Amino acid sequence: MPKRTTTFELTLPARDEAISAYRWLYAALRDEILAGRLRPGARLPATRDLAMRYQLSRGTAVTAFEQLRSEGYIEGTVGSGTYVSAVLPDDLLNVVRGAPVRPGTSRVPRRHLSSYARRVRGEAFAQRPVRAFRANLPALDQFPTALWAQLAARRMRSAPASLLIGCGAMGYEPLRRAVADYLSASRGVNCAPEQVCIVSGLQEAIDLTARLFLNPGDRVCVENPGYPDAANLFAAAGARVSTLPLDDEGITVPEARVREARLVYVTPGHQFPTGITMSLARRFALLEWARGAEALIFEDDYDSEYRYSGRPVPALQGLDRDGLVLFAGSFSKVLFSSLRLGYLVVPPDLVDYIAAAKYVATRHAHVPAQAVLCDFITQGHFGRHLRRMREIYAERLNVLLDESRQRLAGALEISPIEAGLQTVGWLAEGIDGEIATSAAAARGVEVIPLSRYWSSGVAREGLQLGFAALDAHEIRRGVRELAMALEQSRA
Ligand SMILES: Cc1ncc(COP(=O)(O)O)c(C=O)c1O
């Protein structure tokens, strides 16, 4: 086991005057070790330092160390460094008061959970190698990390105190301005910088919206099939989630059954997961409905920056004259997802509510990261990166379409999408999505059956296929393997 130096000061519980100084120090260190706060291999402070910090004689500290050493808790010698023993008997670890509770033991106390805690659902994050056809992932190997590092270093080398102190809840002002300019020019969004809130990912924008505009029991409508983590957040907030079917023009406008809905969540630019672009007529119909129902529309514009064909489709928000649309986007797909930066554009009268909710929960997004992103945008790198990636992704999409026409005909019909990082393939009659997914996984290919995105009644079975993160070679390999997996999966 590697030896580790404790670089922090060891804080022991207050001294109990009823017991001797030696006994107290011995017991306090032993408890730290058994509770796992001092881990095997960790270096203990020198006896001289401990004695000074806790106003003991050095001899007292040495005697406590000797006792711990003789019982096997620590090893090493005074003078050359003392470390927590690499191997601590399991039975010692279980007896001490305050030791971390291990799942499955009878020591878990009864918890009183909120109704939110009972409803909220999350997923464990898993790092997996990138392979065909991972969805929701940009080509991270193409991201200019060296340039980003240069911008970050320049920012931090000359960082004024203001950059280290923080910023207003709505975000770093220059970035809000840059985002407003970008959205007006490129996405047809109608907004002033004051309406832009910089959030820690689009997911936070949905969370803020759910908490501010929905009460438990309120009705919210989502697309079916649709993005599950939006529905999950609305359900966690206690809302009643209704699903609305799609047709070729996008989500169908809420009918009588859901007339009382307070909010509709949509992905008009590139519907998740089908890739449908919402028609202009449908956009107007949805706005008309929201006006009549006094409801809000949440427009999730998660990856429409990458448009390969068709006319650029401006945001639904740009058509809104009545302050009905909350528009949100993310830098996760255009840059990289661990950046955790996105934006929420809100009607002017709702700005203060968003600012207050953001302030009490997280204060503001990470300021140095916002500043670097701002430089990346205002110095022209963002536009260049988008243009370059659009070409790369268009090429990759073409490879996927060509290969699929040759090898998947009659089994999987790939949808001709206009934008985004992934597409769907519609399965031929007699091929089950889950069975095909397992057969593909056995051949080293990742697909997601669309049935996982349907909340009820799967109208058409298909597979979601990401292509952006894969080079041509991996796409070809994926199509070959998928063709065999689909053949095996025929009923
Ligand atoms: C449709 C959709 N909306 C929102 C998000 C969340 O984005 P972010 O990473 O910015 O939280 C995702 C992420 O995959 C998504 O696919």
CB atoms closer than 10 angstroms to residue 141: 9
pLDDT for the residue 7: 59
Q: Is the C-beta atom of 209 inside 6 A of ligand 1? A: no
Looking at ligand 1, which atom is closest to the CA of residue 300?
3
At residue 133, the 3 state secondary structure works out as strand
First to last CA, the chain: 54
Phi and psi at residue 251, to the nearest 5°: -65, 140
Q: Residues 462, 426: contact at Cβ < 8 Å?
A: yes
Ligand 1, pocket-test mutation among 203, 267, 303, 337, most atoms within 8 A of CB? 203
Helix (H) or strand (E) run with residue 424 in it? strand 422-427
Q: Is the C-beta atom of 332 inside 6 A of ligand 1? A: yes
Q: Is the C-beta atom of 224 inside 6 A of ligand 1? A: no
Distance CA(271)–CA(258), nearest Å, equals: 21
Nearest Cα residue to atom 7 of ligand 1:
202
Phi and psi at residue 463, to the nearest 5°: -130, 140
pLDDT for the residue 2: 63
Full DSSP string of 54-92: TT--HHHHHHHHHHHHHTTSEEEETTTEEEE-S---HHH
Contacts of 483 (CB under 8 A, 6+ apart): 407, 408, 411
pLDDT for the residue 79: 66
pLDDT for the residue 97: 47
DSSP classification of residue 349:
G
Å from CA of 204 to ligand 1 middle:
10
pLDDT for the residue 89: 61
Q: Is the C-beta atom of 274 inside 6 A of ligand 1? A: no
Phi and psi at residue 462, to the nearest 5°: -155, -175
Per-residue confidence in pLDDT tens, the chain, 491 aa: 566 665 567 788 888 788 888 999 999 999 889 888 888 888 899 888 888 888 899 999 999 988 898 888 998 865 678 999 888 765 565 554 445 555 555 578 899 999 999 999 998 888 889 999 999 999 999 999 999 999 999 999 989 999 999 999 999 999 999 999 999 999 999 999 999 999 999 999 999 999 999 999 999 999 999 999 999 999 999 999 999 999 999 999 987 667 799 999 999 999 999 999 999 999 999 999 999 999 999 999 998 888 888 777 899 999 999 999 999 999 999 999 999 999 999 999 999 999 999 999 999 999 999 999 999 999 999 999 999 999 999 999 999 999 999 999 999 999 888 889 999 999 999 999 999 999 999 999 999 999 999 987 777 899 999 999 999 999 999 999 999 999 999 97
Å from CA of 67 to ligand 1 middle:
55
Token look-up 């809420």 returns 254
pLDDT for the residue 456: 77
Ligand 1, pocket-test mutation among 123, 198, 200, 202, most atoms within 8 A of CB? 202
Å from CA of 141 to ligand 1 middle:
20
b/e sequence 385-402, b meaning 16+ C-beta within 10 Å: bbeebeeebeebbebbbe
Ligand 1, pocket-test mutation among 232, 274, 302, most atoms within 8 A of CB? 302
